[in-house]
Structure 1
């Protein structure tokens, strides 16, 4: 259980965020559906179309679900600046047995398409 990362587009291969860094991401979140194309079921959230289309957070300090912290910092060596990847996150690293009422059913595995756009203001 946890996180798997499938790299879509490599980043710079060098610049990696560290615990506590402010990162800027573009993301779309879908429910995992093994019968759907690319296992992506219903979309429940996206940074695209909100403000400048990005989401900023401090990574590795519990501001986001554990699957994001691990997917960006640890899984398969973590992400590098400019990288695009798909993170598949099991419920124990997401919203668990409580889910997110109205959006994410309890026990759901999630699929996020993510792009690491900036680290501490340094853009790709």
Structure 2
């Protein structure tokens, strides 16, 4: 489920293979507890390749429906997040997640000094 909080430009939507730059806050739907935030972590936006498995499926799919400048609240079902196994100890089994995503920009090539190989916060969370 995607609830648009702030409309984007309505023209520029990320597609697989492009790089998206986003800020997000992630929380548990059941409790509202925040477990990840790009702004709280270090203030830097997350930059990743869309459709390349760098984020959970629900995040990636929702992002592809957003346009540049848009901010949306996205509820991700467990099947499109971490499923029946979760990601212990941080993400319990069958956890529905809520993301507040701000799509800052999209581009064809990564123009960051970090590089694609660097682990993003969501990748680190997925690998725990």
TM-score range for the pair, normalised by the shorter chain length: 0.7 to 0.9
- 3-state SS of 2:32 partner: strand
TM-score by length of 2: 0.80
- Residue 32 (structure 1) aligned to one of 29, 32, 45: 29
After superposition, residues 18-97 of structure 1 pair within 5 angstroms as: 18-33=15-30, 41-73=32-64, 78-97=65-84
- Number of matched residues? 109
Q: Indicate the RMSD between aligned Cα atoms, in angstroms.
A: 1.6
Unaligned runs of 5+ in 1: 34-39
Unaligned runs of 5+ in 2: 111-128
Q: Structure 1 residue runs of 4+, over 6 Å off?
A: none
Give the drift of 1:53. Answer: 2.7
- Residue 7 (structure 1) aligned to one of 4, 9, 13: 4
Task: Measure the CA separation in 2 of the matches of 1:7 and 1:66.
Answer: 19
- 3-state SS of 1:49 partner: helix
